[in-house]
Amino acid sequence: MTFEPARAAGLARLADFVPRAGRAYAAERNTDRGPGDRSNVSTLSPWVRHRLVTEREVVEAVLRRHSLDAAGKFVQEVYWRTYWKGWLELRPSMWARYSANVPPALDALSAAERATYDDAIVGRTGIEGFDDWARELVELGYLHNHARMWFASIWIFTLRLPWQLGADFFLRHLLDGDPASNTLSWRWVAGLQTVGKTYLATMQNIEFATEGRFRPRGLAESAPAVEDDAPIPTPGLAPRPESLPNGRVGLLLHEDDLHTESLELGAAEVVAVASPRAGEPRTTADAPASPLVTAFTAAALADGRARAAAHFAAAASALDGLTASAIRDWANDHDLTAIVTPFAPVGPVRDRLDQLDDELGDDLTLARILRPWDALAWPHATRGFFPFRERIPALLREQQIGLERH
């Protein structure tokens, strides 16, 4: 199983999966047959994470082939990602809190805990399945969603390691590592997201869902919720679309949204395209993102940059970083009056753009383009997923998706 960091490869994977996105997916999606057979899941997440292929495109393709009733489980999985982003968008302090807690959690480990942590991240704990998933994650940059849940549960309740360090390990190695989905999923397993509700990995469930590949012994028999002194904050307001500038505009790409050809730009005249050469650091720990993640993100940025330049018939520039000096030089070179960029959800790219906005001051307008998919869905992420799920048919109707008869 390989993941080519290009939109064309993501579209090919989507076309291959669509016939299996209906009732077959619902029946088999929880089975982890290992990296040699991922035919029961889409494996689209690395492309969707960077919006090389958008959520809208995925859902539209599936609902052209299947009814919403037949493909409901898969559509819900796509909207889980949207829900997590919206939930964090309404509570951005939760990302800041998690990020700030990673280095102290590592520093606070005792010698014995540090040895357990070191064994866990290289797959030598002796726990069947867990060690295999640790190695699979490092080698391939991907894990089946069910394996991610088992891994997180064993990390927290059997190995008794801080959940923040497990989330950081995932974020550094997953090609689809997403700040919202990753952070909040680990919180959910730990009993922090739905307060008091934890996820316990059991030998019986793992043996059944891996079709007998793994039968780990010695797992924790209970999963008491992790304690957290800081309560979940009250949700704030969802972002609203900004006014788009006119005149000579530069389009600034970033790793969170690389299908800029589908952005709604109004009357803006895009005369130049730019993106950083590499992605933003994913972690506040000393360990960087894996070479797989670094290479995938850099190639995805190059792919998005080339496509945007061709689409807008504009000059393309690769920047050494999202710094004020690099942006000013780029703007001066192309006589830009403003810069537009896709809206970045809460996470490292958002942090960098916020800093860049402050550094540019009044010199340049940096307008962020919010996609209708996000603008319509995020305001409904105020509570748990199940109330949000009830909104999915209405959200699809609002965007005129899946209205064809089957």
- What is the CATH number for 36? 1.25.40
Compute CA distances 235 → 62, 88, 92, 343, whole Å: 32, 9, 9, 19
Is the pLDDT score of 285 beyond 80? Answer: no
Q: What is the pLDDT of residues 80-136, one digit of tens each?
A: 999 999 999 999 999 999 999 999 999 999 999 999 999 999 999 999 999 999 999
Q: Are 269 and 355 in the same domain?
A: yes
**243 within a domain of the structure (yes/no):** no
pTM score: 0.96
Strand 248-252 to strand 315-319: parallel, antiparallel, or no bridges (unpaired)? unpaired
Count how many domains the chain has: 3
Run of H or E residues at 269: strand 269-276
Rounded Cα distance between 253 and 344, Å, is: 10
Q: Are 331 and 389 in the same domain?
A: no
Q: What is the pLDDT of residues 360-377, one digit of tens each?
A: 888 788 999 999 999 999
| Domain with 197 in it | 94-209
- What is the CATH number for 323? 3.40.50.620
**239 within a domain of the structure (yes/no):** no
- For residues 67 and 317, is the Cβ–Cβ distance under 8 A? no
Strands across the sheet containing 365-369? 315-319, 269-276, 248-252, 338-342, 365-369
Q: Are 180 and 105 in the same domain?
A: yes
Q: What is the pLDDT of residues 1-59, one digit of tens each?
A: 789 999 999 999 999 999 999 999 999 999 999 999 999 999 999 999 999 999 999 99
Is the pLDDT score of 381 beyond 80? Answer: yes
